Chains A and B, each alone.
Chain A
Amino acid sequence: MAYDDYLDGKPVIVTAALTGGVHGKEAHPNLPETPAEIGDAAAACEAAGASIVHLHARRDNGERAFDAERFQAVTDAVRERADDVIVQHSTGGTGVPTDLRAQPLRTDPAPETASLDMGPLNRYDRLTSENTRATVRTLRGEMRERGIKPELEVFNDGHLNEALRIVDDLAEPPYLNLIFGPGTLSLPHPRSLLTLVESLPAGAEFNVLGFGRHQLPLTTLSVLLGGHVRVGLEDNLYYRRGELAESNAQLVERAVRIAETLGRPVASPAEAREIIKI
């Protein structure tokens, strides 16, 4: 069970979500947007203890980019600057056609892992990121062809149902990212996390993402439950109430400090590859 993993001192995988596809420098001046900025941030986060970097691509003006060429520039910049960090590309994209969302899977080399959204998610007042089963199937198929480990993005409890539909077709262990926050996300509360963890398939590895002020408490609880953690400016701009985080690396440093204080070592990239079987 998950708590046994905590007691056993299982290493924690720290994922740094550096940029995202929603807000940009208008929200935080240090949010990395260019390939060079993302590469520098990835290296700093790896030095701080992150073993996975979750990547999105942006145009020069910060707007979303999905083409393989821009993702290639981003992933090249990361690989040039970082040592051994695991590269994870996002396949999310509200309102964007599926074929364009598959473009980040087509870099050379392919990302070792990629996100796979499990269902619909509301944005603003009038948008929904649909993530139909057909879209999930298409993206998952291309990941399989390219040897890319999917990270199943469970935005709410219903998405766990969707994940359970396909989990038997995935390579062991299934790797799920449990997401908590406002709107169509799971209710951001410790009891929601406990319920979801109790419902995970046997042998699954799970990661926890809490938006905004929920990042710190829910990732801390994940450490106690034997899970992994995701932090970074994509999900949370603040270090504490009213104080912007200095950087992605600052958030990673705190996550590492908490994990180690609670008695779990932080996984190196090599250990992370072993844990989630990349």
Chain B
Amino acid sequence: MADRCPYLEYRRESGGKRFETERAYCTAAEAFVQPMRADVCNDRYGLGHATDCEIFLEAEAGTDAGRD
């Protein structure tokens, strides 16, 4: 089973937005993500968060920089 992005959560509510069904939320961007991007977050269809998501890569780079 494919991994999924560690920054992905499913939420019903955040930032003044509320939904009937839990939706993909990016804790790195602190925002609900577009449905197309959610496929990247979930590593579906051969897409992968570690290679295809600039938000993940920038967040990880920031983390690494902090460790240095």
Listed in ascending order, the chain A residues whose CB lies under 8 Å from chain B are 21-27, 58, 60-64, 93-97, 100, 123-127
Contact = CB atoms under 8 A, between A and B. Distances in A.
A61 B34 contact: no
Given A62-B35, A95-B39, A126-B51, 15 more contacts: A23-B36, A25-B19, A26-B19, A26-B23, A60-B21, A61-B10, A61-B24, A63-B24, A63-B35, A95-B52, A100-B45, A123-B36, A126-B52, A126-B53, A127-B47
A22 B45 CA distance: 15
Interface of B: 10, 17, 19, 21-24, 31-40, 42, 45-47, 51-54
Given A61-B22, A62-B21, A95-B39, A27 B34 contact: yes
Given A26-B17, A64-B39, A124 B45 contact: no
Contacts, number: 65
B51 A22 contact: no
B53 A61 contact: no
B49 to A, nearest CB: 10
A122 to B, nearest CB: 12
Closest 3 CB pairs of A and B: A26-B32, A125-B54, A95-B47
B35 A23 contact: yes
Given A60-B21, A61-B24, A124 B54 contact: yes
A193 B19 CA distance: 39
B32 to A, nearest CB: 4
Nearest to A22: B36
Contact of A26 (B34, B46, B52): B34
B35 A126 contact: no
A95 B35 contact: no
A22 B35 contact: yes
A95 B44 CA distance: 9
Contact of A64 (B21, B23, B32, B35): B35
A22 B21 contact: no
B54 A63 contact: no
Contacts of B40: 95, 127
A100 B52 CA distance: 20
A26 B36 contact: no
Contact of A95 (B19, B31, B32, B45): B45
Task: Find the residue from B17, B21, B22, B53 having the highest chain A CB count within 10 A.
Answer: B21
Nearest to A64: B35
Contacts of B52: 95, 124, 126-127
A63 B39 contact: yes
Given A95-B45, A126-B51, A126-B52, A21 B17 contact: no
A25 B36 contact: no
Nearest to B41: A63
Contacts of B19: 25-26
Given A62-B23, A124-B54, A127-B47, A24 B34 contact: yes
B23 A25 contact: yes
Nearest to A26: B32
